[in-house]
Structure 1
């Protein structure tokens, strides 16, 4: 396989409802929040690339009707090709090649971060610096009594994160498979990210999505690449983008 180019996928993730991706419980104080969200070394919440990629993979596995994590390792399998084999495989003849999709950690957008720190706009009543606490109870269905009250920390609705993904194109088939990445992103918008999705947490939307193709020639010449798409996922024209990619990749192969 020969690297033909890379698709750079960037944009914003907006939390439409509270977002709770679990972090360490080692810093929980008596009387404090029971379930913390994951934060970086500066105490700022972020979306781990592993969480985002794992959710995208899970949605495509459901779409394909796979009962468990696929590890067949064949190039005919979109899951193993795009997301990697994931688990040890008994198939010694692995043809899928290197994982195509890289997903970086999504950092809290700088404007959102500043608004939270200054308690401005929709974050004017934020309890903590970057997060909020939400009390939850388990209700006994027989007695209707509340039990085990706990406080869940979550990133508030309206928060925006900057996301960054890389999709490697090694064969022409990868152009066909890229459609599955877009499908997974669309599916996620009507699903949830993080925990407690059935309780309303984790609804998100991808905004200001930009897809840029940089061929090997662009890297060699210092070129900036060619824009494939810019906008909302609902406006993404699959066939139009696919044909544009095929044309550009064919040019790269001839170069």
Structure 2
């Protein structure tokens, strides 16, 4: 069994009932050669990895045994709702970031709501210092649930791209690169609009804390790409995603 566990390079873990993870049912597992952990959370569970409604109720110590000993280099978080992903309780242990270098946030969002998405919904704040890159991939949703619509109506009262601008600013003294991937379903001009919003925000920051050299350096560490270009540049996703899945994204024009 130990030899088989060493062969696991990519593991996909889906949200589930906390009942499954009682100590007498689910011992921890150790995958020494794990490269990528792909976590699926769901709006039904309020972006908890464990549900919050069934018994026994989750507690502050309710980290999922399946994840407790895992130390991936790449972390993929697939978010199908508009709630913050919960780390430290609700299933996903905070220690999951101990060796993570690259983070991929796949966010389900309506076309008109991209400008109001908060990247911190999928990450601890501030991001762990070990992280070298954050990639946000927008999964365009044709329709949203009622709870998601209520949440987004509240967000639309804010400035467009304000949350994204805040993350770019927060990363100012770090070595973290930020890549934003857009699907072709989007209206023409979104890529340029997003890039312009980021650069305008950086240009407006006080020179006392943000000298021009620092601003230009941070601009070079933020990319806004089309999904097609991102897929074609294999180094961005190889060994992090299943190859068949990624090529299907390109063939279909977006993430299904």
TM-score, structure 1 normalization: 0.25
Higher strand share goes to which structure? 1
TM-score, structure 2 normalization: 0.25
Of structures 1 and 2, the one scoring higher in RCO (CA 8 A, sep 6+) is 1
Higher helix share goes to which structure? 2
Q: Which has the larger radius of gyration?
A: 1
